Chains A and B, each alone.
Chain A
């Protein structure tokens, strides 16, 4: 197809598809008037049953923890994929361009001041996942961004020391593996996969959710390590000499 004809066909087919989609979505319940039973059951029962106050976390890490397991492994596959795509080519030449990032003093100072704050903030978001908005995923990503901040202000060496590949990779896989292990732990005592096995603590305390807290932590470790690795692969690729072709 030529560019022009593709544009016309794309426009036509998107319009037709749009008609079909709109024909379906206008029959949804009115915006703001959602009736569904599933959410009512959870909103009513989760606080008492699971001793957590952030219901989406309870859904993600307990009621529907199996979905989150799949999601963790999606990150796991993405990390492995980047390693396959970038690293196995990189093995041949160890030559690296020096870092090209020119950082002004102002950024450096601001960054140094922010690091402590972001680390704390990320940890807080992870740890309070069962109580307030956020959780392993959001907090883990913030922690990964902190490592990136260190790259910005201290350069490659510090970044490489922090993101030593084999270690972070093991950490990432361990996070994903821990999720499965926590799930399997209950099987040994005759329970179901991913069933809560810890005593649930007092409401509004950090560990009140029992297993939710552990799974949340595992997710936090997995996500932060995964994103550090993703960034590291891209950054390393960007410093590779351009002679490959």
Chain B
């Protein structure tokens, strides 16, 4: 089945080119059907490889250039359950958003489908690549497609969001390229396995540490970790909703996947002695991100912005999972990634339904209007609870594994961070849902602050009728998220796959010598299922938080005011950061990089 591997990338690319060649000859419905079929094909192929590679990963040498004496001559694609799984997720979300877009846009430009297909292909290329420069090229391709899709509506704020996104992420890409240069200068190799082998297990010197710092920063900029997150809310708020599904559902998380892949193939050896420091630094970054994102999420009333900040918070949780550097943590993070991606995709699609029908996504002004959309309301309720970690959704399983791993490393406080992140983001979504679909909470007149920004509707006029193609995709995504949580033994299977993922000698052997020693089996010291108690607790807290937010005005006036006064400094600081000025964002990017470097130096000294 090996020959099918490149099709995952070549098919959507070819599809995009075909759509452009035949753009005048194709009626729009054909273009839709064609794009949906192609994206669906990616999902099916990805799923196929997910099952196929469960035992042994697959290495595909493009152009047939197999390595010689351990020196990679060509470019390798590496298919294991992780890369295939994420490719499946990309295909699924792509299919869902293209089906949704079918009846969503009144008149969509001819370029939309072609751009979406290139975007999908680029993301798949990024996650399959086993070569560090190919990673960079597909990172750039994915970014360029994302910039264009962000600015697709070409109104002022869309262009603004596009510019901020493009400038900060390009600089992130330059950082990655600098890191690649350093590694290439040291090892003379571009293949991940070969670099890892050349660096060996030796102690890390300045060059390796700086290379890791630069590559991590570049990918952090993509995965929107604080303080590199500024672009994300701006871009998500303005990008067309079907595009946001892919942005939040998988693009942001791909940055973290990239770090994990590069770390465990290249840096794991030289960093063996520094593991404690790596863990501390990444845990701090993840915690700050998870909490800041959660806070900001609760403060938003523009629904797409709210969802964007919740993505930031969850990216922080994912980083915590990876930062534990334990198989259980990574397994948890990978399940969490998929679960969150599906749920978040569904939520963005629901926001799209609102925007389609009412030409508005402001929580306050939509108050009560959603009563006509019971289906959408139910989906939002389920998805909100899934974000908060209600059983049986996949998010809970991932979270439970991460918590378990953290306890193993005596990081008990991680549970509290995860709990807060779930409660804050779930609570914010439920609050918005309660207000929009049930009409609870304060009316627009009672709300002190004005709307954050006006969004240009993506449809010509408000719609009375809604086509089934718009409700089915989010419902399907939520159902998938629940299925993941219910899948038997998923935790164990993920851990078995992680055992290979973490084993760099197995990766290198498979890539460079064509055979791999079996990875060391992982001793399952603890349970690897969902922790139902925690899930119910965090879901209940999220509901309570949402109700509190909605009915805060019923509290005695003094209490309400006191809470507001307490929060004001934090709100001021957090909002002040988001100046929207591209120069500021670049300054923050540089300060963040330096801070990470400084934090690293301090931790290395202390630990």
Contacts and interface: CB of A to CB of B under 8 A. Distances in A.
A42 interface: yes
Chain A interface bracket (under 10, 10 to 19, 20 to 34, 35 or more): 35 or more
Contacts of A35: 188
Contacts of A13: 587, 590-591, 594
Contacts of B20: 76, 80, 169-170, 172-173, 176
Interface stretch (B110-118, B275-283, B360-368, B452-460): B110-118
A197 B374 CA distance: 58
Contact of B17 (A10, A88, A174): A174
Contacts of A205: none
Given A77-B148, A184-B14, A65 B115 contact: no
Contacts of A23: 206, 210
A166 interface: yes
B409 interface: no
Contact of B62 (A45, A73, A193): A193
A23 B213 CA distance: 12
B63 A196 contact: yes
Chain B interface bracket (under 10, 10 to 19, 20 to 34, 35 or more): 35 or more
Given A28-B182, A77-B145, A38 B583 contact: no
Interface stretch (B71-79, B264-272, B516-524): B71-79
A183 B6 contact: yes
Q: Is the interface of A mostly helix, strand, loop or mixed?
A: helix
A73 B122 contact: yes
Interface string A69-100: 11101101110110111001100000000000
Given A20-B213, A45-B73, 7 more contacts: A24-B206, A28-B185, A65-B62, A80-B148, A84-B152, A89-B154, A192-B3
B45 to A, nearest CB: 14
B10 A183 contact: yes
Interface of B: 3, 5-7, 10, 13-14, 16-21, 23-24, 60-65, 68, 71-75, 109, 111, 114-115, 118, 121-122, 125, 133-134, 137-138, 140-141, 144-145, 147-148, 151-152, 154, 178, 182, 184-190, 205-207, 209-211, 213-214, 579, 581, 583-584, 586-587, 590-591, 593-594, 597
A16 interface: yes
Nearest to B17: A177
Given A20-B213, A37-B189, A67-B134, A84 B584 contact: no
A67 B182 contact: no
B133 A67 contact: yes
Contact of B21 (A78, A174, A183): A174
A1 interface: yes
Contacts of A70: 122, 125, 134, 137-138, 140-141
B587 A85 contact: no
Interface string A1-44: 10000100110011011001101110111000011111101100
B188 A6 contact: no
Nearest to B159: A85
A38 B189 contact: yes
Instruction: Give 4 closest A-B pairs by Cβ, nearest first.
Output: A36-B188, A24-B210, A177-B17, A173-B20
Contacts of A81: 115, 144, 147-148, 151
Contact of B75 (A66, A76, A85, A176): A66
Contacts of B73: 38, 41-42, 45, 63
Nearest to A12: B591
Nearest to B185: A28
A177 B188 contact: no
Contact of A73 (B13, B18, B190, B209): B13
B17 A76 contact: yes
Contact of B182 (A24, A37, A74, A77): A24
B144 to A, nearest CB: 5
Contacts of B3: 187, 190, 192
B134 A20 contact: no
A194 interface: yes
A191 interface: yes
Contact of A170 (B14, B21, B121, B154): B21
A180 B14 contact: yes
B14 A177 contact: yes
A87 B187 CA distance: 47
Contact of B188 (A17, A39, A85): A39
Contact of B134 (A6, A37, A66): A66
B6 A193 contact: yes
Residue of A70, A190, A195 contacting most chain B CB atoms (<10 Å): A70
30 contacts: A9-B591, A16-B590, A20-B593, A20-B594, A27-B206, A27-B207, A28-B186, A28-B207, A29-B185, A37-B189, A38-B71, A41-B73, A64-B74, A64-B133, A65-B63, A66-B134, A73-B141, A83-B111, A84-B109, A84-B154, A85-B151, A173-B17, A173-B18, A173-B20, A176-B17, A176-B20, A180-B13, A187-B7, A192-B64, A193-B63
Given A24-B211, A177-B18, A77 B591 contact: no
A130 B64 CA distance: 20
Nearest to B137: A70
Nearest to B18: A177
B64 A74 contact: no
A20 B593 CA distance: 9
A119 interface: no
Residue of B182, B185, B213 contacting most chain A CB atoms (<10 Å): B185
Contacts of A162: none
Given A9-B587, A62-B63, A63-B74, A17 B21 contact: no
Contact of A80 (B10, B72, B111, B185): B111
A20 B20 CA distance: 45
B356 to A, nearest CB: 20
A152 interface: no
Contact of A181 (B14, B64, B178): B14
Contact of A173 (B21, B61, B141, B151): B21
Contacts of B71: 37-38, 41
A74 B141 contact: yes
B71 to A, nearest CB: 5
Contacts of A29: 185-186
A217 B590 CA distance: 41
B10 A180 contact: yes
A66 B210 CA distance: 28
Contacts of B23: 166, 169-170
Residue of A66, A71, A180 contacting most chain B CB atoms (<10 Å): A66
Contacts of A71: 137
Residue of A36, A74, A89, A193 contacting most chain B CB atoms (<10 Å): A193
A8 to B, nearest CB: 10
A181 B14 CA distance: 8
A166 B214 CA distance: 43
